[in-house]
Every structure is written in C-alpha cells, then in structure tokens.
Structure 1
Amino acid sequence: MDWLPDHPSVVCGTQGVVASGVYVGGRRIADVAIEEAGQWARRPGHVVWLGLCEPSPELLHRVQVQFGLHDLAIEDAGKAHQRPKIEQYGDALFVVARTAQMVEGRIAFGETHLFVGHGYVVSVRHGASTSYAGVRGRAEASPLMLAHGEDYILYAILDFIVDNYRPVLETIQAEVEEIEDCVLASNLGEHAVERLYMLRRDLLRLRTAVRPLVEVCRRLEHVEALAIDAAMQPLFRDVTDHVYRVQEEIDALREVLAFAFEASQMIGQAQQTAITRKLAAWAAILAVPTAVAGIYGMNFEYMPELKWHVGYFAVLGVILLSCAMLYRKFRRDRWL
C-alpha cells in the first residue's frame, strides 16, 4: 500500500540533521556534531538527542558508527513503509510509529523511527510529519522531567505523535457532520458519495497506523521486559490511553459514515419508490380513457350506443367519473 504521498508540503523542509544537542541533568549544554555524538553519549549522565529528517544512507551509516546501532534497525530506518513496532537489540530499542496530517482534504501518512539507547535518542522522520522542534522546546522547558533522559524523550515524541492524530480526526469529524446534514436535507449526490467512500478508506488506513501503537506502548509499560525507567511507566500508560481513545474515535467516525451512506441509500430508494408509485397511479388513470377509446375505435357494426344522441356525453361522463374516482383513491393512499 502506497501510503507515503510524494507531496512537497508534507516532507521535511530540511533533509539530514535537523537538530542535535547534549543534555545533562535535563539542561542543554551544547550542540554536537555527529562525529562527536558517540563520545558525548558515553559520558555518565549525558544524553545526546539527535533529530534526522529523510537522511541519506551515508548519514545513517555515520550515525550507526557513533552509537553502534544494529544493522537491521538501520536498514529499516532507511526505508519508509514500515509497520509500527518495537524491537530490542541488546540494551537498545528501535521504535517505529506512523504520523498523519491533513493535506488537501486527504490524510497524508509518514513515519518516525526512534533509536533509544543508553545516553542517546535518534529520531528519523520520513514523509508527512510535524517538526519535533516543539517537542524539544517543551522538554527543555521542563528540566526536571528531561532529567529522566532518553526514556522521557521517547515518551515525549510518542505522545506528540499521538496528539497530532487529534487535529486530523477533528477535521474529518467536521466534514462528517456536514455530510450528515446533507443526508437529512436531501439525498447525497455522486460527489458526496465519492467523498464518503474516500473518508472511510482514509479512516481505515489511519486505524491501521494507530492500532499497532497500542502494543508498542503496552510493551513500554512493562519495565521488566525492556530497559525503561520505572518512573516513566505511568507516562507510557497515559500514551496508551490516548491511543485507545483515538482508535475509538476512528471507529465511531467510520460507523457514522456507514450509517450516513445507508441512510442516503434508504432515502434514495424511498424517493425512487415514491416516483414509481406516482407513475403507476397516473398510468392507471390514463388507462381508462385509453381502454374506452380502444373499444370504440374497433369499428364494430353493432354498437347501439353509437346511435344515441347522448352517447358521446355518456361516454365522456363515464371516463371522467372513473378517472376522478381513481385519482381520489390514489390521493387517499398517498400515491399522488
């Protein structure tokens, strides 16, 4: 599934190294070059936070050399189209999460790959993703929390990714409400039906991107299984709750869209039935003069009523009376 669109407004503005810094006790003490990052990360109490965007294979190799990253993790980080997951390589973690943004009325998807180890965090962004400069700024504004090091940075990035699903859902929810109003007002047009299908498909893709994050966060909660600070466990549990709520909202929106489509179909069928009834009623009414005219148009020799002086008016009276009775009956039965 080609879920990473080639759109200039959703890819990284600056490719390569976006930001890098060294933190001690929750405070940034210096910027760091990649060639020096490994040395800083090995110092006790130091944490290197390196942000990359659409890195080249050569840049990834340089980062791998500095932090001793696993070959398989580097291979995955060089490719987008990875399923959200968490893998452990020795004392290091490799986390994949999908990001989402609204672009020209469609959900554009991207990816973030996170390398987390003792003394370092490396984030690699691909495709549609908001800059993590805001995450870094908020983290630096809370040195007590940032003092927890790489575990808190991992939480901050995952929480930011999950929170960014909400604007997407709010935009879709507003459009869903407009579709509901259209359904109640009249039958959906062809364009509205196409849009409805497109929204349902995008929501399904978003659900596919969100759902695996539940398992990722749940694994991060179990500190006995992974090298995560026990104090961070409640924070990762909070992210898990946010993911659950996002998933529930996605399911609710998909159900509303399904109901809207079904309601539109039912309204359309009801309108077609009403039109068919009207046509049938008028056909029955017109059948009376047609039948009478057909009888008198057969030119039989013995038709006594043709000799009556009032024969013409009698036939017209019978036709009008019959049509009036049929019209009244159809009106009473609400066919007309």
Structure 2
Amino acid sequence: MPAIPSLGAFRSRSRTVHGPVKPRTPSPLDSCVVDCAVYVNGRRKPGHWTHSEAIAEVRATGEGFVWLGLFEPDEDQMAAIARTFELHELAVEDAVQAHQRPKLDRYEDTLFMVFKTVRYVEHSSPTTANEIVATGELMAFLGKDFIITVRHGEHAELGKVRRQLEDDHEQLSLGPSAVLHAIADHVVDQYMDVTDGLADDVDMLETQVFAPDSLITAEQIYFMKREVLELRRAVLPLATPLRRLAQGYSKLVPDQVRSYFSDVDDHLTTVSERVAGFDEMLTTLVDATLAKITLQQNTDMRKITAWAAIIAVPTAIAGIYGMNFDYMPETHWKLGYPAVLLLIAVVCVTLYRRLRRNRWL
C-alpha cells in the first residue's frame, strides 16, 4: 500500500499558496501518546514501546495486537501514526479536527468509529448552573492487529478501561475488537451516569415549577432542555454503529464479540428512552411555566384594573368640581368640601370591598 501523505500535504492540493511559506516544526510524537502496549494472549508484553516498534513486533511474530492511546494529536503527529499503520487520510483528518457526530466508517481493512463522550458537571441547583453536560470526543481506529484511540476532552480517559481489560485476560485475548467493545461499554455507562444526574435535576425543576409562588422562569427550563439536547446528540446517532457491529458489519469483529455489542446497544436503548423522557417532561414544564406566567399576568392585570376603577372615582369628582362653575351642588355650603371627601371615601371603600370579595384584589 502506498505511503499516506501528511494531512498538510493533503490539504495543500486544494488551495494555492501565495508568497513564501514558513516551514513548520513537527511536534514530538511522545507528547500526545498516553500509552502504547503490545498484548499477546490477553497479557501485556513487558517493556516500553514506540508505536512503530510495537506494530513491528506484532507483525514479526504474527501474534497479539497493539493498543495505542493518543490525546489530542496535531496534524504532524497523526500523519506519522497514519504512515505506520496505513490509515486512510479522510479518517485521519476527522481524528485531528474532531467535532464529529458518532459514526462508523469502513476503509478497506480498517474501521473508524467516533464516540461522543459526556460528563455530568456537579452543581448546587439546575437553575443557577452554567453547564450541566460537558462533552468530548473519542475516536477509534480498528485493524486486525491494532486499535488506536484518539481522545479529545479531559474527561474521556481510558486508563480505567485499560486496567480492567488487563485484569481480564480472557476478554483481552479476543483481540482489538474486545477493546472497542470495552470502550463502547464505558462510553454508554457514562451516558447512564449522566442521565442519573439529569433525572434529579428534572425532578427538582418539576417540584419548583408546581410549587406555590415559585420564581422559576421559562429561560431556566430552556437551559436544561438545551443540556438534554446536547446529551441526545451524543446518544441517538450511536445506535446505528453499535447495531452494525452487532450484525456483522465487518470481519474485524468476530462472532464471539458481536453479542457484546448487542448488550451495549440494549443499554444505549435504555439511555435513549430516558433522554426522550427528559425532553418530553421539560416540554411539559415549559408549557406549565408559560401557563403559570400567563395566569400571573392575568391576576396582575385584574389588580391594576381594580385599582384604576377605585382611583377613577376621586378623579371624576375632582374633575367635575375643578371646572369652577358658580352654580354647582354644595359649593356655597359650609360642609360641602368635607361632604365631598366623605362621599369619595365611601364610594372608594365600597368598590374596594366589592372587588376584594370578587378576588380582584
């Protein structure tokens, strides 16, 4: 297979460069390598390996596989990995750029899978939080004798997954596809943890919405709905790739591993149903909040109308007497002014009591 060009060279074919180009200094490859190991019969081979030494060892002996973990590699670093493992340039570009939807692509004898990782951000109240669901990305290149994981985001660590697999020699002996299953299972478990946290937040919002005299606003519920949609964008697109792997999409996933992907798909279905339930509940809470706001506005408007009716009485009487005609009722009577004030007071109090009885005030 011909050597894979660097990503910089791949992009340069589609644009014209004007003027002198400053040469780029390649980044050290070790700075993005989290771990590189060779596994034979489910056990880690001792020693410190570079990616080229590891794959050379596996192909020379004809047994085992390489698991290479990378963290946010740049173009030059990823291009070096691509040349060694003969990765497709389009998948390599996706792995560098990130911001991908969950998907599964097949490039000749290699699979490229993208996961959206999530993390629940702890907070005191969903009404005051700035972020509830933090997202990242995890890519995996699967070959017959290697698996390469590329991580974007601080919370998508795979150290725990690697340690668990290294303690389970039987599972790890199934090959690199077993590692891909463990990663998928780990990601879906994170989804379930996030949905547990969101369930408490949604319950808290529901309690506050239906509590008397609550101060919660529709904007706060819209914020929570946005966080749920962020989780939904990570969960729903992953169903199709998992189903494909469970149904024999590639020979790189043997029959004994496919059933494991079916189990992960079942867990993902549970998560999807919970996320859909959150979305539906938040829509209901938005409607309830808007109805509550409308009711409050109607109550306020009735109060304003009632006070306006009361104020209209002295305003009308004062307006009549303000015309200063000589022949008007009681203008020459000594007790005329107090009598008018008493009349205004009696009418206003009567109106107030009547409106109060009708719950307008």
- TMscore range, shorter length: 0.7 to 0.9
The structural deviation recorded for 1:226 is 4.5
SS in 1 for 2:97: coil
Q: What is aligned with 2:201?
A: 175
CA distance in 2, matches of 1:250, 1:204: 8
CA distance in 1, matches of 2:338, 2:94: 93
SS in 2 for 1:23: strand
More displaced stretch, 22-31 vs 314-323: 314-323
2:94 aligned residue (62, 76, 84): 76
Closer, same or farther: CA 224–72 of 1 in aligned 2, 3 Å: closer
Q: What is aligned with 1:267?
A: 292
Q: What is aligned with 2:166?
A: 140
SS in 2 for 1:30: coil
Structure 1 residues not aligned, in runs of 5+:
1-13
Tell whether the 8 Å contact from 1:41 to 1:118 is kept in structure 2 after alignment. no
Closer, same or farther: CA 282–151 of 1 in aligned 2, 3 Å: same
Q: What is aligned with 1:96?
A: 114
More displaced stretch, 73-82 vs 170-179: 170-179
Tell whether the 8 Å contact from 2:137 to 2:153 is kept in structure 1 after alignment. yes
SS in 1 for 2:155: coil
Q: What is aligned with 1:5?
A: none
CA distance in 1, matches of 2:131, 2:234: 18
TM-score between the two structures when normalised by the length of structure 1: 0.83
Q: What is aligned with 1:3?
A: none
Tell me if 1:237 matches 2:262.
Answer: yes
Q: What is aligned with 2:143?
A: 117
The superposition leaves residues 34-55 of structure 1 with CA deviations (integer Å, 9 ceiling, x where unpaired) of 1222233334441221111122
Tell whether the 8 Å contact from 1:220 to 1:226 is kept in structure 2 after alignment. no
Tell me if 1:252 matches 2:277.
Answer: yes
CA distance in 1, matches of 2:37, 2:344: 96
After superposition, where does 1:8-157 map in structure 2 within 5 Å?
15-31=31-47, 32-42=49-59, 43-102=61-120, 105-157=131-183
Q: What is aligned with 2:27?
A: none
Q: What is aligned with 2:20?
A: none
Closer, same or farther: CA 66–305 of 1 in aligned 2, 3 Å: closer
The structural deviation recorded for 1:334 is 0.6
The structural deviation recorded for 1:302 is 3.7
CA distance in 1, matches of 2:284, 2:167: 46
2:352 aligned residue (320, 327, 333): 327
SS in 1 for 2:99: coil
2:253 aligned residue (216, 225, 228): 228
Closer, same or farther: CA 314–171 of 1 in aligned 2, 3 Å: same
The structural deviation recorded for 1:284 is 1.3
Paired AA for residue 331 in structure 1:
R
Closer, same or farther: CA 261–89 of 1 in aligned 2, 3 Å: same
TM-score between the two structures when normalised by the length of structure 2: 0.78
2:317 aligned residue (262, 287, 292): 292
CA distance in 2, matches of 1:65, 1:106: 40
The structural deviation recorded for 1:213 is 0.6
